[in-house]
Structure 1
Amino acid sequence: MFTMVRSKSKSLMAILLAAVLIVLIALPVSAAESDGKVEVRLKVGSAQMKIDGVAVKIQAPYVSAGNVMVPLSVFTNKKGFGAGLKLTNNKIITLTYPKHVITLTIGSKSATIDGKKTTLAVAPVNKQGTTMIPLAVITKALGVKLSKDAVTKELILTGTAASGATGNSNSGIDSDSGKSMIGDSYYKWSMNYPTGLVQDKQWSNGDWISFSDVKGDYYMAVSIDESEETLDKQDKRDFLEYNMGEEETIVDVKTITRSGEEIERMVTKENGFFYEYRGFQANGYFYTLIFGKKAKSAADLNANTALLDSFKPVFQASNKSLKDLARIIDGKITYTDDEYGLSIKLPKEWERDTESVKPYYVGPDDSYLLLEVSSVREGDTLDQWVDRKLQIYKDIKKDIYHKTPVKSSIIWNGVPAILVELSYSTDTKNWLNEYEIYAINGTHKYYADLTFGQESKDDIMPVYDLMLKEMKIDFSLIEKSFGEVPDPYDIDIKEVITKTSKENKFSITLPKYWTKGVMDMDSDDLVFRGYGTELHINIIEATGLASSLDIFLKSYQDGILEDGGLRIDSNTAVNFAGVSARKFEISSTELALNSGTVTAYIFKKDEKIFAVQAAIPTISASELINKQVQDAFNSFQFTDK
């Protein structure tokens, strides 16, 4: 419902540009056709990474005890490597990536990599709400290549996309009495039971499923890719290579015939394992069957030929000895979250966001569904909670960009709840809709949110019905496993606080919630973030104000204004906090993706150049937000007088 601006910068020029970029100039973005290979570039101190050249915001990597620490999203982002993520007890992290499973614990150097215990040089930590993990050891464990660009100083990660979100079921398939075969009714395949193996992970939509034995000596997986066009021999072999690890060496390639069908077969070796890959095309899919074992030679794979030969692109529902492993049933996927006691069925086009530790599901056209759980304030009521949230909603958006919320009383999961329908826009032409459910049970409150574009409403309404009627929550589990969990969005956005820098000798009064995460007021790069706005204070040692102003103007002329998305409306001499300053007022043009304004004050004090500036997107230019920004500017004063 509410989003704070999260960009960062490190130099005078960067901070001036960063604030302007908040208005989101329309820049062309192109996605390269993916062949399964992924390149991720990132840099220590930079709040973005590039996935195949496309910039993605992240928590800036940093160095700890000689180790580069990066956010989990470097590996779990779906547009990149797409590693699966599972969080247990809010601290145990399980990363899954084809053939690899890594278990980490926040705050602990102990880890497990593919079943082997190891000790990390640096423990994973939570930093400003983001889990940071050591880069080098994780890339090595996942088989992702790590290198460095000597010119740009970027760290380069290269590997393959994992093809989807994972769910780790850990289901023992050998325990099913009377079942001698397994298969998938949706993807239409079946094969003999892989005796001695257990299912260890399966993508959320079922197009990847893998098995292993207790000792880790055997491995089997089935991967399914959509493939309508007829593939030739080389196409099929390319598909097989797509599913291989970076360090696997191909030792044999041939075409074999089974049941009158030609099948492409490849054998690889890696670290004492030999793998056999088989490729089939049928039913509009390309099936990849993978079988691996710890062995001395490729010939040892022959002992398992009968199992591999049993694979067929056919599923006979009438066969009572066939266990159906399908995740997609009647066009829907059942998602469960043991931490939240949650169960919900969603259309097959939806998937769990593996980067989120909370239940968060994404659908077509940027639609999403989420669930949040937090503690009830003492003496609070459902109506009071909803009224506070809606007041914030009204306060942080300009009137023409939102419609009056519609409230109604409902029963949800057997308890009284309030349903709120919201509608808002960034341009008054394209509108977003939200259906929010608020409920209180015991000592916790529950917030479910379905957001989608107005043009997608007809397609999303079935999901709305599912959220209302089939989103099941075990309240008793929450009461047992969740303690005091503050609601980060249930705040007083009008409460102010005065912050002082002893080093740079100034103070400023601003909304208290803007200061979240700002620990060091003596930093030369301060960023205060609120709903729909961001205020920067940047300070550098310098002797000449004029030269700094030249850099400011040149940065716009060379880097921003030439794109036509922004313009400098005014450049005037003013008095700011008792010193002479230059005030710049900047706004977006009709070419900008989203409109907004930036106000910047640049001045010199005690051989230091100060840049104090704020950016407000037009949608957030409400009476309250404008006043809070102006009050913050007016409150700035030096403390050495």
Structure 2
Amino acid sequence: MKKTAIFVALLLLVQTVCSFAAETPGELQNDIERIEIAFQIGSDILKINGNDTQVETAPYVVGEGVTMVPIRVITEAFGAVVEWNEEEQSITITYEGVEMRLVVGSIEATINGRTLTMLSPPEVYNDRTMVPLRFISENFGADVSYDGETDSVLVVKESFGDEDLDNYNSILKKTDKERVGDSYYGWSMRIPKELRLTERSFDGSATYFTSDYVVLGIEILAVEDNEGEFSLDKLFIAMKEAASTAPNTFISQNKGTQGQNTYCEVSYRDSQYQYDQRAYYIDNKIFYLWAIRDLQGGNSDISVLEEAKQSFEIGYAYPDDTEDLSNVRDGMRPFKDENMNISTEIPADWMMLTGSPENRMGFIQVDGKFYGRYYIDIFSKEAGETATSWANEDLEHYEYLYNSKFVNFSGPNSISIDGKSGVETKIVLKPKEKGFTLTTRFIYLMSDNYKCRLTLTYDNLLKETSADYAKVNQMITEFVFNGPDASVGTLQEPPSEFENDTIVDTVKLSGGKYQMKVPTMWAKDSSGGVDVFTDGIYAVRVMPFEDVPNITVLRNAYVQVMNDQIPESEYSGSSPRKLTIPKTTISDLFYTFPLNDGSYSWINSYVYIIKTSYGDYFVIECQVLDVYDGQRAEDLFTSIVTSFEKI
């Protein structure tokens, strides 16, 4: 492994440390939706979600301690929809996927088709329909508590905007088990009952618990270290340096052992928060346990954090006494997006990307066994559009983009996914460097109003006969797409980047005597008297020269410099792309040379040595990765170079 990988890993750790301040207790708490009902038995004033609400009939107790409240309390607090059937004397209450049917005078209730028995039935009292508070609230996912000294009732439901988190929190509140953990990554600790599970990454590598004043995080970071250059000591140094950076006040550092595992830890604070961090390094993974405590909370939850730290263990040694947060089954994680109405299975060692639009989901392979990327894109379907027409449009795009010498195209071919017909195309990139290929599969599916494209990319390290590929392929074979509900609205497909190629700026070159037209979206740099224009794939460099006797001398000097600086470059003499610029004489060259960054890429360099009719000399280099040296590259470079002119 290259030493740079070590530095990158340490840098990522430091960046992660520095990012914690953005995930403060208050900010994470703001993400929680809270429903609360508070009242005293016999009082007609109830506090519902912070507002005093007067009801016509005060709550009362019947039978075996069952609290009855007006059904209005349920509708106002939860936002539930209630339907009354006069003939049947029945009440249907609908809330977040729960449909509950009650009948006045009956202790039987039906919830999503399942019959349950209540302690007391709904009843009509003072012309008001009264319902059992605890039964309804708990089936809506809320907690109900009673204080006998004050004869008061408190109903609380906290929602995290994530069905899995809500389910986990419900389980952790009610479980008889003492520990919580993740069997896939192999860690566990005592359940911090005073905290809530407020965030968990899709791949399970990050788990966060919070209270009003505390955030407790468990993160697992993979490190690529085939040569054993990474160590806990290097990690400790990085943590101490980050903790000592202004405006932090360094508190303590320690290195110790817990069970069979060695850890390092640091503590520091700023003006508002204290930060405590502990890290283990085992089997090329960093297990990172950290906490942020709001100093305004005093000593709140210090004992909770200390217990979590002391009970944290690596190895998942108590499976029967641990609530397992992992949803990995047979090496796969379920993925579902209800808004886009899709679902599939994702390999457990793939991570979900963040920061994308709602209609684009991305996943990457993270353990370094092979290069892997998977994207799901969903757009509105255009009138008359089919999976085949969409696939052909994309193929034309890539045929224009790529160098046909290094690319094989296939398809579109028919495919069936979840019983639905679609088409598949495939692109295989084979760069000049032998032994490396990059394969991309595109799957196109249609619903009534929407269309979906699956994009799976992998390199030759993933063998299509391997067990790993069988799991990767499940992302496609297990994919379910029924199309979003029409209420989602229009999901516009982004315009092709090619549309920006003809939108140009006229740029004055260094020296102020000449100019060129360059795509507006390209980055422009004129430092050091050399003008460089690039979009990250294509680059044009314009270099002026003085005191040149003739164009042949400049050409020979350029060739000599290339041979000296890049001895592995391959010189092919004149450029295969001849260009003409008014009022100039041009001598052209063509080079190709390896990028030498481990990416197997080669650079194609088209060089134009120019003498203008005004006696000025320039060298214009047009460079592009060889696999991208297709028709688009030729069109771009021709447009830019031939726009060169005297102001």
TM-score bracket for this pair, using the shorter chain length: 0.5 to 0.7
Deviation at 1:405, TM superposition (A): 0.7
Change (3 A) 1:545 1:405: same
Q: How does 1:128-167 map to 2 (within 5 A)?
A: none
- Equivalent of 2:474, from 460, 466, 474? 466
Distance across 2 between alignment mates of 1:549 and 1:473: 63
Distance across 2 between alignment mates of 1:257 and 1:576: 73
Deviation at 1:438, TM superposition (A): 1.2
1:101 aligns with 2:17: no
Q: How does 1:377-396 map to 2 (within 5 A)?
A: 377-396=382-401
Distance across 2 between alignment mates of 1:549 and 1:113: 66
1:221 aligns with 2:206: no
Check whether the contact 1:603–1:611 (CA below 8 A) recurs between aligned residues. Answer: no
Deviation at 1:407, TM superposition (A): 3.4
Check whether the contact 1:200–1:210 (CA below 8 A) recurs between aligned residues. Answer: yes
Check whether the contact 1:222–1:288 (CA below 8 A) recurs between aligned residues. Answer: yes
Change (3 A) 1:342 1:535: same
Corresponding residue of 2:251 = 250
Distance across 1 between alignment mates of 2:637 and 2:232: 67
1:587 aligns with 2:591: yes
| TM-score, reference length from structure 2 | 0.58
Change (3 A) 1:548 1:627: closer
Q: Which moved more, 1:605-614 or 1:462-471?
A: 605-614
Check whether the contact 2:381–2:449 (CA below 8 A) recurs between aligned residues. Answer: yes
Change (3 A) 1:345 1:612: same
Distance across 2 between alignment mates of 1:342 and 1:457: 28
Distance across 1 between alignment mates of 2:502 and 2:257: 74
Corresponding residue of 2:361 = 359
Q: How does 1:67-466 map to 2 (within 5 A)?
A: 97-101=19-23, 171=165, 174-176=169-171, 177-180=173-176, 181=178, 182-213=180-211, 215=212, 217-224=213-220, 246=245, 247=248, 249-251=250-252, 253=254, 268-274=268-274, 288-295=288-295, 301-302=302-303, 305-306=306-307, 308-313=309-314, 314-319=316-321, 322-326=322-326, 328-336=328-336, 340-354=340-354, 358-363=360-365, 364-413=369-418, 415-427=420-432, 429-458=435-464, 459=466, 460-466=468-474
- Output the amino acid matched with 1:175: S
- Output the amino acid matched with 1:483: T
Corresponding residue of 1:49 = none
Distance across 1 between alignment mates of 2:515 and 2:231: 70
Deviation at 1:434, TM superposition (A): 2.1
Distance across 2 between alignment mates of 1:486 and 1:35: 35
- Equivalent of 2:495, from 467, 484, 488? 488
Change (3 A) 1:288 1:387: closer
Q: How does 1:519-538 map to 2 (within 5 A)?
A: 527=533, 534=538, 536=540, 538=542
Change (3 A) 1:269 1:508: closer
**RCO higher in 1 or 2 (8 Å CA, sep ≥ 6)?**
1
Corresponding residue of 2:119 = none
- Report SS of the residue matched to 2:192: coil
Q: Which runs of 5+ in 1 are unaligned?
A: 1-27, 39-78, 85-95, 104-111, 118-166
1:476 aligns with 2:477: no
Check whether the contact 1:508–1:637 (CA below 8 A) recurs between aligned residues. Answer: yes
- Output the amino acid matched with 1:179: T
- Report SS of the residue matched to 1:456: coil
Distance across 2 between alignment mates of 1:232 and 1:454: 30
Change (3 A) 1:237 1:99: same
Change (3 A) 1:223 1:431: closer
Deviation at 1:457, TM superposition (A): 2.5
Identity of aligned residues (%): 12
Change (3 A) 1:253 1:548: farther
Q: How does 1:37-48 map to 2 (within 5 A)?
A: 37-38=10-11
Distance across 1 between alignment mates of 2:270 and 2:15: 22
Distance across 1 between alignment mates of 2:633 and 2:21: 53
Deviation at 1:417, TM superposition (A): 0.9
Deviations 1:401-425 (A, max 9, x none): 3335143212335532101233231
Check whether the contact 1:36–1:242 (CA below 8 A) recurs between aligned residues. Answer: no
Check whether the contact 1:342–1:473 (CA below 8 A) recurs between aligned residues. Answer: yes
Q: Which moved more, 1:337-346 or 1:604-613?
A: 604-613
Deviation at 1:429, TM superposition (A): 5.0
Deviation at 1:255, TM superposition (A): 5.8
Change (3 A) 1:306 1:536: closer
Distance across 2 between alignment mates of 1:256 and 1:422: 51
Distance across 1 between alignment mates of 2:408 and 2:23: 47
Deviation at 1:361, TM superposition (A): 1.8
- Output the amino acid matched with 1:101: E
Distance across 1 between alignment mates of 2:239 and 2:268: 11
Deviation at 1:369, TM superposition (A): 1.2
Check whether the contact 2:263–2:278 (CA below 8 A) recurs between aligned residues. Answer: yes
- Report SS of the residue matched to 1:359: strand
Distance across 1 between alignment mates of 2:292 and 2:571: 63
Q: What is the alpha-carbon root mean square deviation over aligned residues?
A: 5.6
Check whether the contact 1:424–1:433 (CA below 8 A) recurs between aligned residues. Answer: yes
Deviation at 1:586, TM superposition (A): 2.5
Change (3 A) 1:342 1:31: farther
Distance across 2 between alignment mates of 1:344 and 1:82: 32
- Report SS of the residue matched to 1:210: strand
Distance across 1 between alignment mates of 2:383 and 2:546: 55
Check whether the contact 2:521–2:535 (CA below 8 A) recurs between aligned residues. Answer: no
Distance across 1 between alignment mates of 2:324 and 2:619: 63
- Output the amino acid matched with 1:219: V
Change (3 A) 1:403 1:202: same
- Equivalent of 2:582, from 578, 582, 592? 578
Q: Which moved more, 1:336-345 or 1:407-416?
A: 336-345
Distance across 1 between alignment mates of 2:427 and 2:204: 34
Deviation at 1:184, TM superposition (A): 1.7
Check whether the contact 1:581–1:602 (CA below 8 A) recurs between aligned residues. Answer: yes
Deviation at 1:294, TM superposition (A): 3.7
Report how many residues are paired: 486
Q: Which moved more, 1:169-178 or 1:466-475?
A: 169-178
1:563 aligns with 2:566: yes
Check whether the contact 1:373–1:445 (CA below 8 A) recurs between aligned residues. Answer: yes
Check whether the contact 1:571–1:585 (CA below 8 A) recurs between aligned residues. Answer: yes
Deviations 1:90-142 (A, max 9, x none): xxxxxx93353389xxxxxxxx977799xxxxxxxxxxxxxxxxxxxxxxxxx
Change (3 A) 1:81 1:418: farther
| TM-score, reference length from structure 1 | 0.58
Distance across 1 between alignment mates of 2:641 and 2:266: 70
Check whether the contact 1:543–1:607 (CA below 8 A) recurs between aligned residues. Answer: no
Change (3 A) 1:36 1:583: same
Change (3 A) 1:579 1:240: closer
Deviation at 1:604, TM superposition (A): 3.5
Distance across 1 between alignment mates of 2:391 and 2:207: 43
- Report SS of the residue matched to 2:23: strand
